[in-house]
Amino acid sequence: MDKNALIGLATALFVLLFLFWGKKAETTAESTSQNTDKQLFIAHYGSPLIDGKGDDMAWQDAEWLPLDQVWIGQAPTATDFAGRYKILWDENNLYVLAEITDDTLVDIHPDGLLKYWDDDCLEIFVDEDASGGNHQYNYNAFAYHIALDDKVVDIRPDSAFAYFNEHCITRRITAGKTSTWEVAVNIFNGNKYVDGGENIPKMLKPGKQMGFALAYCDNDHSAERENFIGSVRVDGADKNRGWIDAGIFGVLQLR
């Protein structure tokens, strides 16, 4: 091969590399832009005792975060509802401490699989790999509805409502109108989760990012919940999309 041919070949390779890396950088920039649109939450390491008291030393340095975004209904008065929460993690679990002030605790559906979202309940949304996307009838993400009797419900891929009690350990203590919820959440790889299978929770490590949101269904003795209050801002008219779209979750980073 003569000199001119070698120069031509080298130039062609340079152009191909330039186009490849340019496209990769563009894709990375788009991904970064999408991530920056999401709210970022930081969870620090700690292993609290799950007893519903929330007074463990592990919680002392964790930051209180507001539960104040209206997803359904109108903004409630402070006497009707107020909420805040903290997050911790260790190798085995994600931990949520929620302090909820609610003037009435309502459970009007004895069947825990019937319209459970219209009873007072705490809801924890987890997207293990922060991939976003649809999770309505799959395990791309989980939406754990935790009832006043500690039963945990989500939707299976066959669209049936089902208990996932083994995924969450919950303790709640109510004093007056304030309930303290402590929850230890197992984290599963939804892409490998099989109903009835031997599903092993993920071991968590520093630096891991997950999709995360928290919400509370508030019912004051109506046929349906009056308010649905979340932890993340949801743009657009339809803000009740968390049970379908993991893309509205915030990004939780473990440190």
Q: Which residues of 92-101 are buried (b: 16+ CB within 10 A; e: fewer)?
A: ebbbbbbbbb
Burial of 218 (0-12, 13-18, 19+ CB in 10 A): buried
8 Å CB contact between 112 and 151? yes
Cα–Cα distance for residue pair 232/66, rounded to 1 Å: 9
**Position with higher pLDDT, 23 vs 114:** 114
Which sequence spans correspond to the domains of the chain? 1-37, 39-254
- The angle at the Cα of 123, spanning 237 to 175, to the nearest 5 degrees, equals 120
Percent of the chain with pLDDT over 70: 86
Please say if the pLDDT value at position 181 is more than 50. yes
Region 124-136: mean pLDDT is 98
In the structure encoding, which two tokens stand for residue 138, read together? 């799959």
Confidence (pTM) = 0.85
Q: Is the pLDDT of residue 28 over 80?
A: no
* pLDDT-based confidence at residue 37 (cuts at 50, 70, 90): confident
* pLDDT at 152 > cutoff 70: yes
Tell me the per-residue pLDDT of 196-245, one tens digit each, with 9 for 90 and over.
999 999 999 999 999 999 999 999 999 999 999 999 999 999 999 999 99
- What is the CATH code of the structural domain delimited by 39-254? 2.60.40.1190
| Residue 1 confidence (pLDDT) | 53
Maximum CA extent, the chain: 89
> What's the pLDDT band for 14 if we cut at 50, 70, 90?
very low
- Beta-strand ranges (E) seen in the chain are 40-45, 65-66, 69-72, 81-89, 94-102, 121-127, 142-146, 152-155, 161-163, 168-175, 178-185, 209-218, 227-230, 250-254
When pLDDT is cut at 50, 70 and 90, the band that residue 10 belongs to is very low
Confirm if 179 and 189 have CB atoms less than 8 A apart.
Answer: no
How far is C-alpha 73 from the geometric centre of its chain's CA atoms? 21
Cα 217 to the center of its chain, rounded Å: 15
**Rounded mean pLDDT of 63-86?**
96
Q: How many CA atoms lie within 13 A of 234 on its CB side?
A: 24
